[in-house]
Chains A and B, each alone.
Chain A
Amino acid sequence: MTGPIESTDEDLVRRLQSRDEAAFRELVRRYQSPLIAVARAHVSTRASAEEVVQETWLGVIKGIDRFEGRSSFKTWLFRIASNRAKTRGVKERRSVPFSSLGDDDGPAVDPDRFDNMGMWRSAPAEWGATPLDVLAGSETLAFVDETLGQLPETQRMVVILRDRQGWTSAEVCDALEITEANQRVLLHRGRSRVRAALERHLEREGAGA
């Protein structure tokens, strides 16, 4: 890795407590996107989640001087967000509990890919032959991003927090208030869908080349 070493949250919080605007910007940049994902678990629209996150940052400004670091900043921040989102979700009478798995229980891979013994008719292509740096060209990444956007909401949030944000499963379960078992199922389904979409996409690309 090149470039300056990223400041820790602790450094940024100390700087924020002395009213450093750059530190505030950096914290917002760092957490805006996962905050929206977490808020989205409790409210009915994206716009509503964004409002919750705005309120959360205002809460941070108001409360940061009293923040004593007994829990991590991240835990504190996400607790503010999920409490606010929950209050708002109750007002919106959001009916579908996020913790449910939804009814999407399709197979990870199209059954036609297997013979009647359950063996692959033809092996999955070796993407590994392509260096990840080539595979990770902007066009492929844009496709992955788009596919994530089309996942059922619960799957999308779990995949984003785990695989894009790099959270641990415990952090995700805590923030979204779901069980470890549900977290695993949602992650499995979400990843499987993205893989399947990517496979079709790369086949099209390959055929077109």
Chain B
Amino acid sequence: MRLPFLRDKKLMCQQMVELISDYIEGTLPKKIHQRVAAHLAMCDACPGYVEQLRATIALTGRLREDDIEPDMMDELLDVFRTWED
């Protein structure tokens, strides 16, 4: 699937970027996780990519939820107020 290139001996930056989301999730197979960690320890550029992806996730987490349309809320409250046991 997404991982056939990993049979190659060396993990390149271009392959790293396909693995970072799963790396952050902690869902990579152990051996691949270790290779990603080893690459990050040696590479000047890829840790910056990891930080960018983490920042992206953090920013998404700060988004406000869509407010419910006032009409929809009013409609629900009308039903709520006529609620009979």
CB B82 to nearest CB in A, in angstroms, measures: 10
Q: Which partner residue on chain A sits nearest B25 by CB separation? A: A184
| Given A127-B51, A192-B17, A21-B80 contact (CB < 8 Å) | yes
Q: Which residues of B contact A108 (CB under 8 A)?
A: 17-18, 20
Interface stretch of the complex, out of A1-9, A50-58, A72-80: A50-58
Chain B residues 17 to 31 lying within 8 A of chain A, measured CB to CB, are: 17-18, 20-22, 25, 27
Contact A124 B48 (CB under 8 A): yes
A53 to B52, alpha carbons, bound, how many Å? 35
Beta-carbon contact of A164 and B12 below 8 Å: no
Among B45, B55, B69, B80, the residue within 8 A (CB) of A123 is B45
Chain A 186-201 interface residues, beta-carbon cutoff 8 Å to B? 187-188, 191-192, 194-195, 198-199
Mask: chain B, 52-85; 1 = CB below 8 Å from A; 0 = not = 1101111111110110110011011101110101
**Closest residue to A191 on the B side, CB-wise?**
B21
Whether A191 contacts B56 by the Cβ 8 Å rule is: yes
Main secondary structure of the interface of B (DSSP, over half): helix
- Report how many A-B pairs have Cβ atoms within 8 Å: 139
Do A28 and B15 touch (CB < 8 A)?
no
User: Is A68 close to B, CB under 8 A?
Assistant: no
Q: Which of B53, B63, B85 has the most CB of A within 10 A?
A: B63
B66 to chain A, nearest CB (A): 5
Across the interface, name the chain B residue whose C-beta is closest to A51: B72
Query: Given A19-B83, A114-B14, does the pair A32, B61 have CB atoms closer than 8 Å?
Result: no
Query: Are the C-beta atoms of B65 and A136 separated by less than 8 Å?
Result: no
Min C-beta distance of A45 to chain B, whole Å: 15
Contact assessment for A118 and B12 in the assembled complex, using a CB-CB cutoff below 8 Å:
yes
Please state if B21 and A188 are interface contacts (CB–CB under 8 Å).
yes
Known A-B contacts A32-B68, A58-B79; the reply to A192 vs B21 at CB < 8 A is yes
Interface residues of A (CB under 8 A from B): 19, 21, 24-25, 28-29, 32-34, 36, 50, 54, 57-58, 61, 65, 107-109, 111, 114, 117-120, 122-128, 132, 135-136, 140-141, 144-145, 148, 159-160, 163-166, 169, 184-185, 187-188, 191-192, 194-195, 198-199
7 chain-A/chain-B pairs, Cβ below 8 angstroms? A65-B85, A109-B17, A132-B58, A132-B59, A185-B2, A191-B56, A191-B57
